[in-house]
Amino acid sequence: MSRFVLITPDPEFEKRVRTATAGMSGSMQWFKAAYLPEGPQEILSQLLGEPPEVFILGPGLDLSESLKLASLMDLQYPEISVVLAEDQTAELVLGAMRSGVRDILSPSAEVDEIRIMMERACLAAAGRRRGLAPSSAENASYRSGGRVIAVMSPKGGVGKTTVATNLAVGLGQIAPMGVVIVDLDLQFGDVASGLLLDPERTITDAVLGPASQDSMVLKTYLSVHPASIYALCAPKNPIDMDKISAAHVTQLLEQLRHEFQFVVVDTAPGLGEHVLAALENATDAVWVCGMDIPSIRGLQSGLRILDELQLLPEHRHVVLNMADRKSGLVLKDVEATIGVPVDVAIPRSRTLPYSTNKGIPLLQDGTRDAAQKGLRLLVERFKPNWEERTRKQVHRRAVVR
């Protein structure tokens, strides 16, 4: 079966696409032509086996004809993703959306960018074939959308962003290109530096521009990370926080949950309006606290207040970061104070802050470290079969070494 079908007269573009898809399953068939057939059936009749997953309409084709073919493809073969290679304009994005184009690829895109887009298009095709949303192909229990995971801490300085970035990277190993991390610390967010990213667009662009009404446009605003995840970073100017309302946050998370299997939200410390909006839309809350009294008491107060407001998400995951017996506290003290079990303990580590400082999360780096086990245990809690385990296993007492 030809998994990819490319139509373009441009041999240099064909070479890049072929290189990008070389390591992926299935083959690519190239139609070297500067024109398009009347309908998709004329092309599909020349292929053997099952229909392909992705149609790439490359440079050198008439744009109006490309959009016409995309419309017919979307109507007759909705399980096939159509990728259009054109320079983006606002007018083109709108026309492509109406025609059912899955993604728009720059004609000058490099091999790595093409590969990422092909992987994304294949995931979308697989999701459509199973009758699921593209972001939910891995787990039928989330047909209404992916899991929104709010990483929370009433107090700052407990390693919340470190936990969030490692969680996103770990989930990216479960669902490549099916994870996005959103930096909701709108004044002093560090997701960009924690992932060594220099984003062209930020959350400000995503909620105030055309992306707020169109998920296809929104995807073009996301930054692609080498760990097969996406990121939507905090504003570069802290003043932009005043432009973003709780309603903007709600709309953004609603869009993302229908496009991705996992949406990891790194929230700001405290319980501001943006954090509360994230909690209202979250399926899971990862509570991070350190092994110090101010942090533990802050978590206790936060859980109590949110319980009174009925804003606690369905799934709870309590993470004790920088766990150390030498702190003068023991695990029983922490659990007795916050009133719930600690699910994951991440031991104090020199490697973990170092990995954050260099912008390569520990779960991406692969460096052997005591903290790695705790981070992987946290990732494990989001695997599809986790809920099948007994309650005792779900909240098995953590161990502090």
Tell me the CATH number at 120. Answer: 3.40.50.2300
Does 180 lie in the same domain as 85? no
Q: What is the pLDDT of residue 38?
A: 82
Give domain status of residue 400, yes or no.
no
DSSP 220-235: HTSEEETTTEEEEPPP
Are 11 and 31 contacting, i.e. CB atoms less than 8 angstroms apart? no
Among the candidates 131, 151, 182, a domain finishes at 131
Q: What is the pLDDT of residue 285?
A: 93
Which domain range does residue 306 map to?
140-394
Does 118 lie in the same domain as 238? no
Q: What is the pLDDT of residue 180?
A: 95
Are 311 and 177 contacting, i.e. CB atoms less than 8 angstroms apart? no
Does 280 lie in the same domain as 171? yes
Question: How far is the C-alpha of 346 from the C-alpha of 320, rounded, in Å?
Answer: 6
The owner of tokens 């003068």 is: 328
Full strand arrangement of the beta sheet holding 103-105: 27-31, 2-7, 54-57, 81-85, 103-105
Among the candidates 96, 111, 131, a domain finishes at 131
Q: What is the pLDDT of residue 141?
A: 38
Does 261 lie in the same domain as 211? yes
Q: What is the pLDDT of residue 357?
A: 85
Sequence letter at residue 311: L
- Picking from 305, 334, 302, the residue whose alpha carbon sits closest to that of residue 320 is 334
Question: How far is the C-alpha of 107 from the C-alpha of 236, rounded, in Å?
Answer: 29
Give domain status of residue 306, yes or no.
yes
Are 298 and 334 contacting, i.e. CB atoms less than 8 angstroms apart? no
Give domain status of residue 334, yes or no.
yes
Q: For 3, phi and psi rounded to 5 degrees? A: -70, -30
For the chain, the domain total comes to 2
Q: What is the pLDDT of residue 274?
A: 92
Task: Determine whether 284 is exposed, middle or buried from the number of CB atoms within 10 Å of its CB (0-12, 13-18, 19+).
Answer: buried
Does 217 lie in the same domain as 101? no
Give domain status of residue 258, yes or no.
yes
Does 379 lie in the same domain as 302? yes
Q: What is the pLDDT of residue 129?
A: 64
Does 362 lie in the same domain as 268? yes
Q: What is the pLDDT of residue 298?
A: 87
Does 232 lie in the same domain as 91? no
Give domain status of residue 372, yes or no.
yes
CA distances from 380 to 126, 287, 375, 389 (A): 24, 16, 9, 12
Among the candidates 131, 148, 183, a domain finishes at 131
Give domain status of residue 378, yes or no.
yes
**Per-residue pLDDT tens for 356-394?**
888 899 888 877 888 889 999 999 999 877 766 544 444
pLDDT in tens, the chain (401 residues): 468 899 999 999 999 999 988 877 678 889 999 989 888 888 888 876 667 889 999 999 999 999 999 988 888 888 888 999 999 888 888 888 888 888 899 999 999 889 888 887 887 776 666 554 443 334 433 335 789 999 999 888 888 999 999 999 999 988 888 899 999 999 989 999 999 999 989 999 999 888 888 877 788 889 989 888 999 999 988 888 989 999 999 999 999 998 899 999 999 998 889 999 999 999 999 999 988 888 888 888 888 888 888 888 888 999 998 887 777 778 888 888 888 898 999 888 888 888 888 889 988 887 788 888 999 999 999 987 776 654 444 444 454 44
Q: What is the pLDDT of residue 233?
A: 94
Q: What is the pLDDT of residue 115?
A: 87
What CATH code is carried by the domain that includes residue 240? 3.40.50.300
Whole-model pTM: value is 0.66
| Degrees, nearest 5: CA angle 134-138-143 | 60
Does 168 lie in the same domain as 81? no
**Per-residue pLDDT tens for 186-206?**
998 999 999 999 998 999 999
Does 92 lie in the same domain as 68? yes
Does 159 lie in the same domain as 104? no
Give domain status of residue 401, yes or no.
no
Give domain status of residue 399, yes or no.
no
The token pair at 287 is 């509570």
Sequence letter at residue 81: S
Distance, first Cα to last Cα, the chain: 53
Does 191 lie in the same domain as 110? no
